[in-house]
């Protein structure tokens, strides 16, 4: 309903990508924004800026030796990352 009236609420830890007639225009920070859709303005998408976690399961096997034959080592690596928005000088936005 809000977007039908041209009003938009961007949530915390999120940014919105605004386009005008399909071309990148701006990044909307969290808060209240007016997006007049009848002038060709639309939201292309949302990007979360929260820290995310990725679990990577690794299994390694040792070479055959006389002391330790065929040992298998299972590890779980936790990778924490946050996406960032990179704005290029030509006006394009890309998520990394």
Look at residues 77, 78, 14, 80 and name the one whose alpha carbon lies nearest to residue 46. Answer: 14
Count other Cβ atoms within 10 Å, centred on residue 35.
19
Rounded Cα gap, residues 15 and 29, in angstroms: 5
pLDDT tens per residue, range 47-68: 888 888 888 888 887 776 666 6
Tell me what pLDDT residue 1 has: 46
Percent above pLDDT 90 for the chain? 4
Cite the beta strand spans of 35-82 per DSSP E.
Answer: 41-48, 51-61, 72-82
Flag whether pLDDT at 33 surpasses 60: yes
Do you know the residue count of the chain?
Answer: 96
In the block, residue with structure tokens 């949302």:
46
Lowest mean pLDDT among 17-26, 41-50, 59-68, 82-91: 82-91
CA 94 to chain centroid: 10
Question: pLDDT value at position 42?
Answer: 86
Q: Measured between alpha carbons, how far is 27 from 47 in angstroms, rounded to an integer?
A: 10
Question: Span 24-47, mean pLDDT?
Answer: 87
């Amino acid at each position: 309903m809000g977007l039908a009236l041209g009003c938009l609420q961007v949530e915390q830890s999120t940014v919105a990508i605004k386009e005008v007639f399909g071309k990148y225009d701006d990044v909307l920070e969290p808060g209240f924004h007016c997006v007049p859709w009848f002038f060709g303005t639309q939201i292309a998408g949302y990007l979360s800026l929260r820290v995310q976690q990725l679990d990577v399961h690794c299994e390694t096997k040792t070479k055959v030796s006389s002391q330790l034959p065929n040992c298998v080592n299972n590890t779980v690596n936790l990778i924490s990352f946050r996406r960032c928005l990179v704005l290029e000088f030509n006006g394009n936005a890309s998520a990394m």
